[in-house]
Amino acid sequence: MSDEHGGIFDGLIGAESAQWAFGTDFEDPLAGVDTTVPDGVDHTELAEYCLMLGDDALIMSQRLTEWCSRAPDLEEDIALANIALDLLGQARLLLARAAAADPGLLPALPEGSPVPAEDALAFFRDAGQFRNVRLAEVANGDFGHVVVRLLLFSVARLALLERLRASSDTVLAAVAAKGVKEVTYHRDWAARWFLTLAQGTEESCHRVVTALSALWPLQPELVATHPVELSLARAGVGVDPATTRGEVDAVLDQVLAVSGVARPDHPPLEGGGRTGTHTEDFADLLAEMQMVARAHPSGRW
């Protein structure tokens, strides 16, 4: 292209290139945001709570990312990629908030490493230090599996985020306000596909019913209360997920009723990711997700 009309990248590449993938020194996602911990709130509890919500989004995003180029058609491939990016954005903010609330939880890194706080938490913690629910981490199955997993996850997360908009913590309230719009789409996408598959062919119905049966024992963890969640809910900062149980059940029952699929009757799986107890699949997920960062901890990209 001639100089008269400018280069194709004019306006994209210049002195301010830090926002692009080949740049360096990415901005702090909380730059300019008031990160003061509300009065009377325990810093370590707030950090732990942000880890829980951030890890849920991070690990769910990682599993959805594995679907890149594997969806049934291009439109749904892009939809899954966008959903993964939405959750990754939530994870980045929540992990940065965790580090700002309690810098002591950051893992040790080589001196002079340029890794931002949220990246350090994502790539340099071991499995037992993650606090995500196990539903997010189990290995991918077929397309029916990704639909069911996202439905169960997004219905619960949306109910929680809707309440979290009233948080007295500025960052959590802002993340929730934006997240509600994003996760509403996630829920609706999953519900539409669940209905489509359940009322499609005998084989497609079998796939979602099988996935629902396999994942159902992990669903109660989404609405179970951890002591940190209860403490911060009482302080007006967090949400007790148990208070969302009625709404979550109502939405799932509605989707199941319209789809003609029976609600599973499986007991919950014991243990929980909130306390650092994870599935065997989690180690493989972390090994792949963290491989490059751990191999080049001082790298700049």
Residues of the chain above pLDDT 90, percent: 80
Query: Alpha carbon of 250 to those of 146, 186, 238: distances in Å?
Result: 21, 17, 22
Number of structural domains (the chain) is 1
**Which range marks the domain in which residue 143 is found?**
43-262+274-295
User: What is the CATH number for 290?
Assistant: 1.20.1260.10
Question: What pLDDT, on a 0 to 100 scale, did the predictor assign at position 232?
Answer: 98
204 in Cβ contact with 197 (< 8 Å): yes
**Residues near 244 by beta carbon (within 8 Å), at least 6 away in sequence:** 156, 159, 160, 163, 223
Structure tokens at 202: 């005998």
In a domain, 9, yes or no: no
- 3-state SS assignment for residue 104: helix
Residue 141 DSSP class? -
Question: What pLDDT, on a 0 to 100 scale, did the predictor assign at position 22?
Answer: 32
Convert the pLDDT of each residue in 47-56 to its tens digit.
999 999 999 9
* Highest mean pLDDT of the ranges 4-13, 24-33, 43-52, 291-300: 43-52
In a domain, 180, yes or no: yes
Q: Whole-angstrom Cα distance, residue 210 to residue 203?
A: 10
Q: Whole-angstrom Cα distance, residue 17 to residue 22?
A: 8
Mean pLDDT, range 241-257, rounded to an integer = 98
In a domain, 30, yes or no: no
- pTM equals 0.89
Task: Give the CA-trace dihedral at 121, 177, 222, 265, to 10 degrees.
Answer: -150
Task: Give the CA-trace dihedral at 104, 110, 112, 115, to 10 degrees.
Answer: -70
What is the full DSSP assignment across 185-249? HHHHHHHHHHHHHHTS-HHHHHHHHHHHHHHGGGGGGGGPPPHHHHHHHHTTSS--GGGGHHHHH
**Residues near 144 by beta carbon (within 8 Å), at least 6 away in sequence:** 197, 204, 207, 208, 210, 211
In a domain, 13, yes or no: no
In a domain, 36, yes or no: no
In a domain, 87, yes or no: yes
Convert the pLDDT of each residue in 61-83 to its tens digit.
999 999 999 989 999 999 999 99
In a domain, 6, yes or no: no
Q: Whole-angstrom Cα distance, residue 179 to residue 177?
A: 6
Q: pLDDT-derived band of residue 147, with 50, 70 and 90 as boundaries?
A: very high
In a domain, 179, yes or no: yes
Give rounded-to-5 percent helix, strand, coil for the chain: 60, 0, 40
